[in-house]
A and B are shown apart, each in its own frame.
Chain A
């Protein structure tokens, strides 16, 4: 946190992020209210229209009915079961994609030769719409969890790989020279120069990857699942229950937002000593 601090005590005192958060608060709450105004208004209007009998709300159920359905799903434990299944898949796919993406991104970013070897292939693979892999994954890995996790991992992999490789390739040569002047060894150079330099880009890439993971879990669960929020979507369609579909969509939105928030929360300590991207996340 500081120019010189070798002591944790001074680093705690001088963390400027706190001040920034404080000054951002009033604007933030206004923004929140403004952001909620439109959906709340539309929902209330629709509720009133259906309640007055001007529309029957069969295709687009009023908020009260969606709420009731959500409550029912939650009470019966169905919601938790489906959410857990979805979360487990996203977590497994995210872990796999993030680890492999980081590793390959690091290799390709650190060595020009490896980049020339790997990058064209990976770029070509990236051009394939990932859903196109689904039949192949099912043939290879079966209809159950493995193929779903693999699909999510593919979605997570690319942004992480690209982010890490680009960040490594873009490190300022001048900063590396300072490390050389101080005769840092390989490990010290990575710890003190490389990692701090790529950390913000890496975390941003992880967030993007997580977002894609949530997109891909829906596709994965469309391809024949007996549980999961994606299954709830398909089930709602087959039963002709738009309220269940909307309940599942809301659950997706909440889960995605929570997972993203969790990722930001967990990685914030890493960034607190990082200059550029503090307060940006």
Chain B
């Protein structure tokens, strides 16, 4: 279980990116974070990844305090961030024998639809393929928590949909806890069990939505539509200054980014 307790982050220049944010994500749960630009989503993920240190508060993964990168936490960034060298997918598997590594890597590549591409240079892959490789790289170590910062935002809708399926099937294998930042409400509803709307200045939780829909979720279903609209409305309210938290649902449109 990931538990975040009264987490604050003030940057050196005085920007309060997060203020007393508390959040719990259960084992195997998929949580999506949405929110306007600058509300501290990336900051939160970087703190959980151990890439940055909090100003106050704590992050715990199964009662283990997180303040540096952990083998239990996998990260997928917005960009693939592949190395221009070999062994990208096997990057986190140095402790294993070459034989074991190869098996795991081949399996991971198959799972993201890249089987047969293992011999390629990163630059010979398309953007979508590179991101698949990055997903395989993060998942091959079987982290207990996977955090993703807009992992699919640079991809076209078709590729994105196919990666959603791949991600869910990978998730089904070992059921890691997942925390996903996205700007795409439909993506959030497709993937997540719970959707958290964040609010800027300073960054904190605005409203939380449970997702009751059964998988696989189809965009055309009426439940999908209703939940999406609720989230969009909440997003809209989260960006209006002076509003109390969890304002009543209105009819505002989705002009929040």
Interface: A175 (CB within 8 A): yes
Query: How many B residues, CB 8 Å from partner?
Result: 42
**Cβ-defined contact, B71 with A175, below 8 A:** no
Complex Cα distance A16/B122, Å? 12
- B-chain residues with CB within 8 Å of residue A3 when the two chains form the complex: 82, 86, 88-89, 109, 114, 117-122, 125, 133
- A273 contacts B by Cβ under 8 Å: yes
Q: List 25 A-B contacts (CB under 8 A).
A: A3-B88, A4-B87, A4-B89, A4-B90, A4-B119, A6-B87, A6-B101, A6-B102, A13-B119, A14-B120, A16-B124, A174-B77, A174-B79, A177-B77, A178-B75, A181-B69, A182-B91, A183-B68, A183-B70, A192-B83, A193-B83, A273-B85, A273-B86, A274-B85, A275-B123
Question: B98 an interface residue at 8 Å Cβ cutoff?
Answer: yes
Are A5 and B86 interface neighbours, CB within 8 A? yes
Q: A3-B117, A274-B84 provided; 20 other pairs, C-beta below 8 A?
A: A1-B121, A2-B118, A2-B121, A3-B125, A4-B106, A6-B87, A14-B120, A174-B77, A174-B79, A178-B91, A180-B50, A180-B51, A180-B69, A182-B91, A183-B69, A188-B94, A192-B83, A193-B83, A275-B85, A275-B123
Q: Tell me if B81 is interfacial: C-beta within 8 Å of chain A.
A: yes
Whether B92 is near chain A, meaning CB under 8 Å from some CB there, is yes
Chain B residue numbers with a CB within 8 Å of A196 are 83-85
A257-281 interface with B by 8 A CB criterion: 273-276
CA distance A6 to B100 in the complex (A): 10
Contact for A182 among B84, B92, B118, CB less than 8 A: B92
6 smallest beta-carbon distances between A and B, as pairs: A275-B84, A14-B119, A4-B118, A2-B119, A4-B105, A4-B89
Q: Of residues 234 to 265 in A, which have CB atoms within 8 Å of B's CB atoms?
A: none
Q: Nearest Cβ distance between residue B134 and chain A, in whole angstroms?
A: 9
